[in-house]
Amino acid sequence: MRIGVIGGGSVGLLFAYYFSFRHQVTVITRRKEQAEAIRRNGIRLLTDGEEHIAKTEAEVKPDAGYDLLFVAVKEHQLGAVLPDVERAAPRNVMFLQNGMGHIPVLERRDAGSDIYVGSVEHGAVREDDCTVRHTGKGAVKWAAFKTASPPDQLEKELASVHTAFPFIWREDWHDMLAGKLIVNACVNPMTALLRVENGKLIEQPAYLSFMRLVFEEASRILAIEDRQASWENVLSVCRQTKRNTSSMLADVLAGRKTEADAIMGYLLKRAEESGERAPHLAFLYDSIKALEKE
Amino acid sequence: MRIGVIGGGSVGLLFAYYFSFRHQVTVITRRKEQAEAIRRNGIRLLTDGEEHIAKTEAEVKPDAGYDLLFVAVKEHQLGAVLPDVERAAPRNVMFLQNGMGHIPVLERRDAGSDIYVGSVEHGAVREDDCTVRHTGKGAVKWAAFKTASPPDQLEKELASVHTAFPFIWREDWHDMLAGKLIVNACVNPMTALLRVENGKLIEQPAYLSFMRLVFEEASRILAIEDRQASWENVLSVCRQTKRNTSSMLADVLAGRKTEADAIMGYLLKRAEESGERAPHLAFLYDSIKALEKE
């Protein structure tokens, strides 16, 4: 397939690297310098003490004619790239944003592309313009959001991208994103505020009790049916990523804008619409926004 | 009167300064160098752009024969000075600790002194071994804790210490300390965790809602009868001290041990005894203790 990847961050580089083995990949970056560097050096992947390089194309604007275009920018950067996505008019487009802040935006789109959403469960850190460290091997879950044709052909292609880069099909995009959003809402702001690794949230009883209060609000807002399973998933993610620095903590420490709007902001908007109270999410939202300004 | 003041911190220096006009004052400090400096230079008070100096005595051990001994050390330093208080056997002793962590300690004492507790509602910052800045003019509330004789004579003396240093008698020590403890529990840990001035807690709606959750726990644990009045008092303190850095935030910023044990720690112990849940206080306690270790 002809693959486009919009975004030269950790997720964009990771996707471009793994697709390059069996597909023709172009990375679309915001900065000209990064596109040049990728064209010159390829994408370097660091994993398990090894170093691999994959050659890919790179541009600052997407072409027309992609079979599949990944949109791998943060939710708050989506507005800046959507016109390019429209112009490129790919056959299939998959949005990889965290949270659910992008959903209202996608609902308003009416382009010709089949639209999918994906949930990236890999750990990855960008080290420089061409280098990404694959710190945690997981999977990409994906689901149809607004499609005209069945995903059979795409499913077949995605099943064989690379053994270290599995794709898992999900029937219901809402359940898929909501499950991830709950985890993000529980783990990200608390770790960023307290400046702790993910595991601390379950090791310290007082943090665990507090996280449960956050979970109650988030799961009520999203009308999660199987709350027990969802809570156990939160605990399991904390255990499996116990030595990890959450992306929100990393953003706070690096002085970058966080995904607070896509995560807590989205939930608070939903809560407001239905007149629900969510004091813990509001507290975490305001305190992370204050940290961003520091 | 012969007055002793144990503690050369901001509160100790403030008391020693204001009592020195009409009484014979000795400051008892932990470090020999500070006692020497005070004997040499006196105590310097900075207030409203003015500078005043008062001559006082200073020692590292209290004498016998004080009419009134103030114990102006933090709750967690009390264990180190209590044997000195016992030996000095003053006629009257007044404990000035924040919180209520010292109450179980005082209940176990059975010395000959009349015991009072005080609640210091002044803002003061120690600038060096001999210098204190009086940043907020308030009052000292005081009440009998365990006394053999009526406080009439003492009340008369304390009423005329200095016009800028009023003493206000309270009938019930528990109500007095509990009222202050509630304010401390609401204001101190949140300002320290969020690193904001006191006023932010009422200006930011999400912080205010969260503070209300903390208040509900603390007021239930202390069995406050008039909750509405108590909550309004918390709001009023936030308004009146809106540009102040709370003592706990100051301690965190200076890398000192905070009063988390005397404030949240005491409340959590009481909650545990009665089997109550207090997840917000526990969360704040653990997060401040983590900040202390940083």
pLDDT tens-digit profile of A230-246?
A: 999 999 999 988 888 89
Residue B129 confidence (pLDDT)? 97
- Can you tell me the mean pLDDT for A190-202? 95
Active-site annotation of A, residues:
180
Q: Does A229 touch chain B (CB under 8 A)?
A: no
Catalytic (active-site) positions of B: 180
CA angle A34, A253, A222 (to 5 degrees): 95
The pLDDT, as a whole number, for residue A36 is: 98
Answer whether A216 touches B (CB < 8 Å). no
Interatomic CA distance for residues B150 and B144, integer angstroms: 9
Q: Do residues A209 and A150 lie in contact, with contact meaning Cβ atoms separated by under 8 Å?
A: no
Residue range A8-55, pLDDT digits in tens:
999 999 999 999 999 999 999 999 999 999 999 999 999 989 999 999
Per-domain residue ranges of chain B: 2-171, 176-293
Residue B14 and residue A209: Cα distance in Å, rounded?
Answer: 41
Q: What was the pLDDT predicted at A293? A: 82
- Is B210's CB within 8 Å of A285's CB? no
User: pLDDT at position A169, please?
Assistant: 95
Give the three-class secondary structure for B218: helix
Distance CA B189, CA B212 (A): 13
Of B206, B280, B283, the CB nearest to A286: B206
In percent, the amount of chain A with pLDDT more than 90 equals 85
Q: What is the mean pLDDT of residues A178-189?
A: 95
Across the interface, of A193, A207, A279, the residue whose CB is closest to B209 is A279
Chain B residues in contact with A195 by the CB 8 A cut-off are 294
Chain A contact probe: residue of B283, B284, B288, B292 with most A CBs at under 10 A: B283
Lowest mean pLDDT across A145-149, A208-212, B36-40: A145-149
Q: Is A208 strand, coil or helix?
A: helix
CB B192 within 8 A of CB B288: yes
- Pick the more confident residue, A76 or A281: A281
> What does chain B come to in residues?
294
Give how far A207 is from chain B: nearest CA, Å. 6
Gap from A244 CA to chain B (nearest CA, Å):
18
Per-residue pLDDT tens, chain B, 294 aa: give them. 999 999 999 999 999 999 999 999 999 999 999 999 999 999 999 998 999 999 999 999 999 999 999 999 999 899 999 999 999 999 999 999 988 989 999 998 776 899 999 999 888 889 999 999 998 888 999 999 999 888 889 999 999 999 999 999 999 999 999 999 999 999 999 999 999 999 999 999 999 999 999 999 999 999 999 999 999 999 999 998 888 889 899 999 999 999 999 999 999 999 999 999 999 999 999 999 999 887
pLDDT band at A227 (very low <50, low <70, confident <90, very high): very high
Q: Which two tokens stand for residue B202?
A: 């009422």
A282: nearest CB among B193, B195, B209:
B209
Model pLDDT for residues A88-121, shown as the tens digit of each residue:
999 999 999 988 989 999 998 776 899 999 999 8
Cβ A206–B290 below 8 Å, yes or no? no
End-to-end CA distance of chain B: 45
Q: Does B285 touch chain A (CB under 8 A)?
A: yes
CATH of domain B2-171: 3.40.50.720
Give me the amino acid identity at B90: P
Cross-chain residue pair B280–A194, CB shorter than 8 Å? no
Amino acid occupying residue B7: G
B276 in reach of chain A (CB within 8 A): no
Q: Which of A76, A83, A81, A75 is nearest to A27 (CA)?
A: A81
Q: What is the largest CA-CA distance in chain B?
A: 54
Cβ contact A283–B205 (<8 Å): no
Tell me if chain A has a CB within 8 Å of the CB of B253.
no
Q: Which residues of B touch A290 (CB under 8 A)?
A: 194, 196
Scan residues 134-193 of B and list those with Cβ closer than 8 Å to A.
193
A196 touching B, CB under 8 A?
A: yes
CATH superfamily membership of A176-293: N-(1-d-carboxylethyl)-l-norvaline Dehydrogenase; domain 2 (1.10.1040.10)
Segment A153-162 mean pLDDT: 93
- Banded pLDDT at A294 (limits 50, 70, 90): confident
Residue A208 touches chain B, beta carbons under 8 Å: no
Q: Which of A283, A288, A289, A293 to mutate to test the interface with B (most CBs of B within 10 A)?
A: A283
Contacts of B134 (CB under 8 A, 6+ apart): B14, B45, B46, B47, B122, B123, B124, B164
In order of B94, B142, B242, the CA distances from B259 in angstroms are: 19, 20, 20
Q: Does A289 touch chain B (CB under 8 A)?
A: no
User: DSSP of A69-91, one letter per residue?
Assistant: EEE-S-GGGHHHHHHHHHHH--S
Among B212, B279, B285, beta carbon nearest to A213: B279
Q: Select the residue of B210, B282, B285 nearest A283 (Cβ to Cβ).
A: B210
Rounded-to-integer distance, Cα A189 and Cα A248, Å:
7
Helix pair angle (A227-240, A173-194), 10° resolution? 50
ipTM over 0.85: no
Q: Is B102 on the interface with A (CB under 8 A)?
A: no
CB-nearest to B283 from A207, A285, A290 is A207
